[in-house]
Every structure is written in structure tokens, then in C-alpha cells.
Amino acid sequence: CIKAGHETLQRRGLHTLPGQPVPGLRDPVCSPFTGPIITRITDGIYLGNLNAAYSGRALLSIIPCTCRRGEFRHSWSRLKVDIQPPLHGDRHKKGQPCFRDINECIEASLEKGKRVLIHCRDGYSLGPTCVIQYLMVKHSMRLLAAYEFVRARYPLNIRECHQDLLVGLEMSLQPGAINITCLKHSLSRKMAWS
């Protein structure tokens, strides 16, 4: 069982169109008890919930399997990271160490032609936060652009602590380019986090 506040990345071979949930899987509902949900975000990067990551039946229905039954068990590499809230209110420190680990894992997998499934317990806050920060860091996207990019493909409900991490990352990547009060105001005005 993955504890709250942890994220696991898994290298998986998933095939769906951008922004489309995997066929045959139930519609997403913001609950840890939903069925498996997996959506392609970019080439090689998929976002899902905990049920998707651990549902062998759901994964095998969409992953091309090259092994023969009974010869060996399916296995996938995993990276488990812990995202901690900033200590002493320092939300503007560039890149949580776990963000670097996540980005290195994604990059290494993509360089090898592998696919990555990023997931969290409910699928709607921590996992998307990891994908959004990856887009911000590796694709030089601004926070709102990365958020809208992911939201167009996957349902989001980003918790305030994860919002703060993303705003802090935006501030470190774009120093002096934006006022944190204005950014938070624009986010709430657009209702971007719900």
C-alpha cells in the first residue's frame, strides 16, 4: 500500500490517444475507490490512479505482452518518492529533490524508448503535480500553460499543498517575472485548480 504523500512512477507500455481515457475502464471519479484510470499525456508519459498501476488485468488489456504465459511474471521498474511540504514556509526554493528524481527517471525511461505511468492514490493531485512540474522544468512551460495542458487531457483536483509547490517552482524558474499574489489571484479567478 502506498502511503499518502508518496508517488510511484512505473515504466509501462500503454497505448491510448492523447487525452483519451483507456477504453473499457470506468469513468473517473475523485475517489480512491474508483476503477483504473489511465490517460496518455504526451508521447511516453501517462497519468493514472493507484488502481490503474496495480490492476494487472487492466494493464494487460492495454499493454502488448510479448512473454508467454507461465514462463515468468510481469515486472516493471518503480521509483517511489516522497514529496514533503516546504519547511519554514520557504516555497520558492528551486525544485524539490524528489522533482529531480522524478525528472531523471522520466528522462532515462524515455531515452530507452520506454513509457512511464505516473500515479498517486486518487490520481487527481500528486500525480498531476509531478507531470505539471516535469513540463515546467523539461519543456520550459509556464505553470498555467502546463496546468491547462494536463487538465485538457486528464481530470484534476490539485490540493493546496501541491499548488504551493508548483507556485514555488514557477517563482524559482521565472525569478522576478511574476508576482506570487497576482499568480494566486489569477488561479483563483480562473478556478484553475478545480
Q: Which pLDDT tens digits describe the chain residue by residue (194 residues)?
A: 222 223 344 433 333 334 444 444 444 444 545 788 888 899 888 888 888 888 877 666 555 555 555 555 655 666 676 676 655 555 445 556 778 888 998 999 889 888 788 888 777 888 999 999 999 999 999 998 999 999 999 988 888 888 888 888 998 888 876 777 777 666 655 544 44
Which residue bears the cell 494566486?
184
Residue 82: per-residue pLDDT: 66
In percent, how much of the chain has pLDDT > 90?
16
Residue 125 burial by CB count (10 A; 0-12/13-18/19+): exposed, middle or buried? buried
How many Cβ atoms sit within 10 Å of the Cβ of residue 114?
16
Q: Strands of 6-11's sheet, edge to edge?
A: 38-42, 45-49, 116-120, 6-11, 78-82
| Sequence ranges of the domains in the chain | 6-190
Record the cell numbers describing residue 62, joined without a space: 492495454
> For residues 96 and 83, what is the distance between their CA atoms, to the nearest angstrom?
8
Superfamily of domain 6-190: Protein tyrosine phosphatase superfamily (3.90.190.10)
Residue 138: per-residue pLDDT: 95
